[in-house]
Structure 1
C-alpha cells in the first residue's frame, strides 16, 4: 500500500466515523517500532506504522487510524486530545478505535551471549558483553579464560 492510498483511507475514515474532513497529510513511517501510529502536534500530520497492516490486516489498520484521528480532531477543536483525557477516551469508544496496537513482533531485542571457559577448572561463564581475557581470570581458581562461543538470543 502506498502513502497516497493511505491518505485516501484516512480521509474516508475521517468523514465516515467523525463526519469531519482530514485536511493534513497521512503517511507510513516504517521506523516506528513500539507504536501503531502517531499524531504530530506541530504539523497535524499522522504517521502510521506499516507493520500492523502486514501482520494483522486492514481491520487493525483502520482501528489505528481511528485512534490517531481522535487525537487529530480533538486537538484541532481545543479539547482533551491526550490518552488520559476523558474527551479522548469517550470519542475513541464512540468511533470504535483501538486503545493499544496489537503486537507485531518488531520490539524483540536481539542479544548476544558470550561463553567463557576456564582453561584450568572448566568452569563456564556466560556474559552479555565481551570481556578482555588478558585482564580477567577465573573467580574460582584464578585460571585463564577462553572464549568458547557466542550465541544470538531473540
Structure 2
C-alpha cells in the first residue's frame, strides 16, 4: 500500500508541475488539450492518494487511533483537503475550454482569470511543501500525543 500511495503522490506532484509549466496564456489548442489531460492525471492521482491514504490510516500501518492523535498528520490531511478544494477553480477553468477545443478554437483566458488560476496553482504547490514537511516530521515520530495525555 505504501508504494502505491507514494507513486500516486509523486504523480500528483509531477502533474501539478506540468500544469504550472504549461499554463502560460495565450494558449494554443495543443497546449490547452495538454493542460486538460494533465489536470485529469492530477485529479486521478489525488483520488488515489486520498483513497489509499485513508485505507492505510484505517486498516494498515499504525492504525487510525495513532494517526488521528498526530498533530502533523492532521496538518498534512488539512493541507491536502485545502489543495483539493483550491484545485477546483483551475479544473473548472480548463474544463470550460472543452467545447471550443472540439471546434479547434484556442481558449481566450482573460488576464484576471490567468492571475487567479496561477495563484491557485502556487497555493497548491505551497500545500505540497507543507505536506512534505509534515510527512518528514511524522516519520520521525513528532506530533503524536497519546489519547488522554496533554500534548
Q: TM-score, normalised by structure 1?
A: 0.30
- The structure in which a higher percent of residues are strand is 1
Larger gyration radius, structure 1 or structure 2: 1
TM-score, structure 2 length as denominator?
0.31
Greater relative contact order (Cα 8 A, min sep 6): structure 1 or 2?
2
Structure number with higher helix proportion: 2
